[in-house]
């Protein structure tokens, strides 16, 4: 009996080995592609380090390119999946913008949860285009102005909290503190929920939010278990999704937020009440979608920035813009707004505060600008926020200097011949555009190796495409302007009556934890009230 069991295990191992390594010769015959040495079962060494929690997902490409820093195209394996890394400025522009029709999709992280599968980031082809069109109407300047009063109220709560902390003289973690601000901003500006996490950090909404984003100590599954689930879903989707019913995101947290959004949606329809929050604005756009499509192609449309112009897509072929299940559309997009915006925005505030602590002269310039625009008690308005030009540069430089998204993933949707080469990327293969190399180049920023807000001074000709904190092309971050609005409201309330200084253990350089939702060592800081 033991012999039979042993032989069965050997057979299963052999089958597993063959299945995992069957594509290890994928790059043979492509001499223009330098390939990282494949390794069973991880695919390559950096993937093993990621799986063991030694590096983050974002560090995988960085580790791979240490071996081939000057190669335009590098191949590697993520477990048994062959992938490409684009490490060239011109090719990046081709993939992300000019030849977007070949790379319209992102690698989807679908599971057995229908709400997760309707996230705009998981949609493909025409379904994604329809959703992108709808949500683009939610984040215009006019709509952001409507949402701003909700954020301003949360900013007031934040200011009171900071004043209290300064009187107590204790250290706080700036990323965690920023998380209270971003959580409450999204709760009220997105869902119409009134919470005050500054007074009650253990409120149900916050606890469920932390579970939703997989924060250590709040999530029901470890980072290792999440990685195993993702591996199974990618390698054996039918087994993982249809049979095992695996879910990447906490199912209870999704159910909690889905219930909140559903009840709010039904109440708005029944009472006709309006708050001009995300739910109202999505409902407005869904009503518009029942009419005719208005395309941007062939029209002299004015874009607010180069970033927005690069995001324009061809919508001529979209005929049916109606949605079969409007409730699911609303729930999935409101939930994605929360899931994508909560942690990333608090990281952005944390990174900016880190630099303000280290570079006190920069903090003083930001303070002086706040005084010029708002004074000690001036009302925060959308137009006044737009006057904070130096703060804009500081935020952008903080996000550039500490990159938390060093690569952008795209899925090749039809065979693509890389211009100027004989390399053909087959349909269905993942392409990683490594943007970190562009961010660090003096060709794109005049003082790229140093933290310097003047890197974003228009007179210094910054390459806006090389700044990819919010992505690039039509698949960029649709909520960028909302996130920047929250960051600026937070900084105004933090700095116009206080200054922040380094905590005793604040690191000089920031490194993400393997979970990618905090920084190693945290962001300890103190707030000191300014003398009148």
More confident residue, 212 or 454: 454
Phi-psi region of 76 (alpha: psi -120 to 50; beta: other; left: phi over 0): beta
The model's pLDDT over 332-344, given as tens digits with 9 standing for 90+, comes to 888 888 877 888 8
Give the residues across from 499 on adjacent strands: 528
With bands split at pLDDT 50, 70 and 90, how would you rate the model's confidence at 345? very high
Eight-state DSSP code of residue 84:
E
Nearest to 514 by CA among 59, 154, 114: 59
pLDDT at residue 359 greater than cutoff 50: yes
When pLDDT is averaged across residues 477-505 and rounded to a whole number, the result is 95
Q: Give me the residue label for tokens 């095992």.
A: 244
What would the pLDDT profile of 30-50 be if each residue is shown by its tens digit?
999 999 999 998 899 998 888
End-to-end distance of the chain based on CA atoms, in angstroms? 85
More confident residue, 307 or 297: 307
The Cα–Cα gap between 497 and 499 comes to 7
Read off the tokens for 67. Answer: 């071996």
What are the tens digits of pLDDT across the range 228-262? 777 777 767 777 777 777 787 788 888 898 898 88
The values of phi and psi at residue 78, to 5°, are -100, 95
**Beta partners for residue 35, in sequence order:** 75
> How many separate helices (H) and strands (E) can be counted in the chain?
20, 10
Q: Is the pLDDT of residue 190 over 90?
A: no
pLDDT tens for each residue of 463-474:
988 998 999 999
Torsion angle defined by CA atoms of residues 106, 109, 113 and 118, in that order, rounded to the nearest 10 degrees: -10
Q: What pLDDT is attached to residue 305? A: 62
Confidence class for position 105, pLDDT limits 50, 70, 90: very high
Average pLDDT, stretch 2-13? 87
Cα radius of gyration rounded to whole Å, the chain = 24
Higher pLDDT among residues 27 and 531, named by residue = 27
pTM: 0.90
State what percent of residues in the chain have pLDDT above 90. 50
Q: Look at the block and give the residue holding tokens 């606890």.
A: 207
Binning pLDDT at 50, 70 and 90, where does residue 326 land?
A: confident
- Please tell me the number of Cα atoms within 13 Å of 464 on its side-chain side: 12
Per-residue pLDDT of 49-76, as tens digits, reads: 888 878 888 889 889 999 898 999 999 9
What pLDDT does 130 receive?
87
> If 0-12 CB within 10 Å is exposed, 13-18 middle and 19+ buried, where does residue 302 land?
exposed
- Could you give the CA distance from residue 495 to residue 425 in angstroms, rounded to a whole number? 50
| Residue corresponding to tokens 């409201």 | 489
What is the pLDDT confidence band of residue 297, given thresholds at 50, 70 and 90?
A: very low
User: What would the pLDDT profile of 200-216 be if each residue is shown by its tens digit?
Assistant: 998 888 888 888 887 77
Q: Using H for helix, E for strand and C for coil, what is the string for 422-437? A: CCEECCCCEEEEECHH
CB 120 within 8 A of CB 135: yes
Residue 433 has pLDDT above 90, yes or no: yes
Which pLDDT band, with edges at 50, 70 and 90, does 320 fall under?
A: low
The rounded mean pLDDT for the chain is: 87
What are 110-140's pLDDT values in tens digits?
877 888 888 888 889 888 998 898 888 889 9
Q: Which residue has the higher pLDDT, 431 or 16?
A: 431
Phi, psi angles (nearest 5°) of residue 396: -60, -45
Mean pLDDT of 87-98: 92
Q: Which residue in 452, 97, 88 sits closest to 306, CA to CA?
A: 97
- Compute φ and ψ for 433, nearest 5 degrees: -90, 115
- pLDDT given for residue 235 in this prediction: 67
Cβ atoms of 257 and 335 within 8 Å: the answer is yes
- Is the pLDDT confidence value at 517 over 90? no
Does residue 73 contact residue 86 with C-beta atoms inside 8 Å? yes
**Location of each CATH 1.10.630.10 domain in the chain:** 88-529
pLDDT at position 379 over 60: yes
Tell me the CATH number for domain 88-529. Answer: 1.10.630.10
Contact 485, 137 (CB under 8 A): no
């Amino acid at each position: 009996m033991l012999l039979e069991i042993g032989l069965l295990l050997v057979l299963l191992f052999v089958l597993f080995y063959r299945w995992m390594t069957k594509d290890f010769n994928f790059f043979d015959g492509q001499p223009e592609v330098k390939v990282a040495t494949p390794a069973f079962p991880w695919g390559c060494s950096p993937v093993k380090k990621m799986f063991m929690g030694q590096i983050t997902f974002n560090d995988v490409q960085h580790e791979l390119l240490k071996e081939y820093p000057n190669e335009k195209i590098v191949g590697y394996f993520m477990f048994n999946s062959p992938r490409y890394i684009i490490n060239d400025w011109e090719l990046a522009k081709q993939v992300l913008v000019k030849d977007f029709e070949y790379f319209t999709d992102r690698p989807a992280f679908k599971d057995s949860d229908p709400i997760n599968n309707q996230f705009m980031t998981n949609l493909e082809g025409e379904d994604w285009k329809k959703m992108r069109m709808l949500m683009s109407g939610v984040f215009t300047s006019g709509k952001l102005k409507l949402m701003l009063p909700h954020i301003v109220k949360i900013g007031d709560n934040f200011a009171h909290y900071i004043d209290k902390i300064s009187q107590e003289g204790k250290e706080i973690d700036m990323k965690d503190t920023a998380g209270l601000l971003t959580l409450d901003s999204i709760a009220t500006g997105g869902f119409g929920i009134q919470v005050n996490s500054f007074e009650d950090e253990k409120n149900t909404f916050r606890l469920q939010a932390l579970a939703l984003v997989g924060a250590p100590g709040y999530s029901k599954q470890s980072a290792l278990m999440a990685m195993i689930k993702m591996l199974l879903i990618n390698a054996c989707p039918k087994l993982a999704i249809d049979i095992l019913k695996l879910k990447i995101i906490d199912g209870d947290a999704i159910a909690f937020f889905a219930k909140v959004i559903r009840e709010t949606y039904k109440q708005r329809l029944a009472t006709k009440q309006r708050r001009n929050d995300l739910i109202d604005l999505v409902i407005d756009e869904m009503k518009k979608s029942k009419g005719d499509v208005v395309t941007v192609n062939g029209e002299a449309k004015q874009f607010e920035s180069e970033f927005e112009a690069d995001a324009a897509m061809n919508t001529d072929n979209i005929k049916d813009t109606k949605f079969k299940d409007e409730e699911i559309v609303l729930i999935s997009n409101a939930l994605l707004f929360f899931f994508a915006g909560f942690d990333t925005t608090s990281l952005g505030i944390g990174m900016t505060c880190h630099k303000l602590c280290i570079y006190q002269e920069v903090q003083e310039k930001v303070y002086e600008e706040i005084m010029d625009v708002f004074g000690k008690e001036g009302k925060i308005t959308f137009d006044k926020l737009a006057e904070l030009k130096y703060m804009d540069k500081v935020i952008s430089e903080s996000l550039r200097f500490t990159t938390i998204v060093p690569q952008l993933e795209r899925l090749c949707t039809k065979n693509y011949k890389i211009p100027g080469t004989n390399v053909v990327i087959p349909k269905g293969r993942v392409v990683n555009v490594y943007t970190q190399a562009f961010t660090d180049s003096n060709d794109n920023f005049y003082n790229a190796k140093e933290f310097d807000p003047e890197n974003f001074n228009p007179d210094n000709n910054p390459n806006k495409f090389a700044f990819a904190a919010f992505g690039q092309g039509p698949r960029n971050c649709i909520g960028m302007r909302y996130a920047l609005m929250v960051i600026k409201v937070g900084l105004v309330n933090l700095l116009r009556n206080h200054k922040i200084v380094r905590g005793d253990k604040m690191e000089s350089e920031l490194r993400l934890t393997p979970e990618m939702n905090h920084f190693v060592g945290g962001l300890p800081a103190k707030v000191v009230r300014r003398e009148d």
